[in-house]
Amino acid sequence: MKYHLIIGFGKWSKKIIGFLQKKKFFSEIYIKTRHYYFKLGSKQKIYDKEFDKIQKKIDSIHICTPVKSHFFYLRKFSKIKKIIVEKPFLQNLSQLKKVRDKLNKKNNLLVNYTDLFNPILTKLKKNIKIKSDKKIIFNYSKQKQLYNKKYDSVKDWLDHPLSIIFYLFRKFSEFEIIINESIKKKGFYEKLLLNYYYRNYTIQIRLNLSKKNQRNILLSRKSNKTVYDLKRNLVLYNRNKIFKSKNTSFDMLYFYLKKKKTLSYQNYNFHKNIMKEKNKIIKKIINDQ
């Protein structure tokens, strides 16, 4: 891979840029801000007409803008064969169909459900194959993160647990909402407790219910507990560390971009199911409040 373009220059894209600077995967990296482009390592502004010549050399892109602009950039850069787009993927199923029709098999499109690329998930997948009654709890909490609009918090976070659940079980069971709260301070902060019931499993999604910042999956079986820490890329069994991955989700994401490897969680049917389930939950949350 040679030239890479990152679209967006917010907090998340800066994390991606920091990662890529260390790895040196690309000979040149360009960043698109709201009004201009620039090459990483240079402060010189590049505007649209100037960038047209450079664009022909771009081998891959990473779309890190808000979801409302994803559809626009996917169509604009559809000729580029290697594309990463952040979750949430698109705003609705109509956009999904149009993107599917616009892109083709030559495009390697990866939707970055970040935690799905975490290497420790393979450990979880092997563990749940053991047939016994158990509970799986998804803990996602960020105490100080507020959103400007009501329900944006839940919309932003739901893709993470939903994508993992569908990856593990290939379907969604019926869900039950236990806690549904929206707190307004200087912005909106949602709390959600939602249960899915499968044979031998109870799956619980807990958004913003912890007093600590958390991003983990707890597998509970009788008196034994296994924690899959998605922030630190490690697995703990009854509080003892049993595995630590050398790779991060960013490592695996860019590895798959380079290799163009076929993944079970990177096809339009997968994305469609996540979007449909998310819409059902959001609709239920709104109706219940």
pLDDT digits (tens, 9 = 90+) for 62-114: 999 999 999 999 999 999 999 999 999 999 999 999 999 988 777 899 999 99
Q: Is the bond preceding 66 in cis, omega lying within 30 degrees of 0? A: no
**d(Cα 157, Cα 206) in Å, to the nearest integer?**
10
Q: Please state, in angstroms and as integers, the Cα–Cα distance from residue 99 to each residue in 91, 96, 102, following that order.
A: 12, 5, 5
Q: Is residue 164 a contact partner of residue 217, using CB atoms and an 8 Å limit?
A: yes
Predicted pLDDT at 133: 72
Predicted pLDDT at 7: 98
Nearest by Cα to 169 from 124, 132, 133, 207: 124
Q: What mean pLDDT is reported for the chain?
A: 94
Predicted pLDDT at 262: 84
pTM for this prediction: 0.94
Predicted pLDDT at 103: 86
Q: Is the pLDDT higher at 98 or at 222?
A: 98
DSSP E strands in 92-223: the ranges are: 108-112, 134-141, 175-184, 188-198, 201-207, 214-221
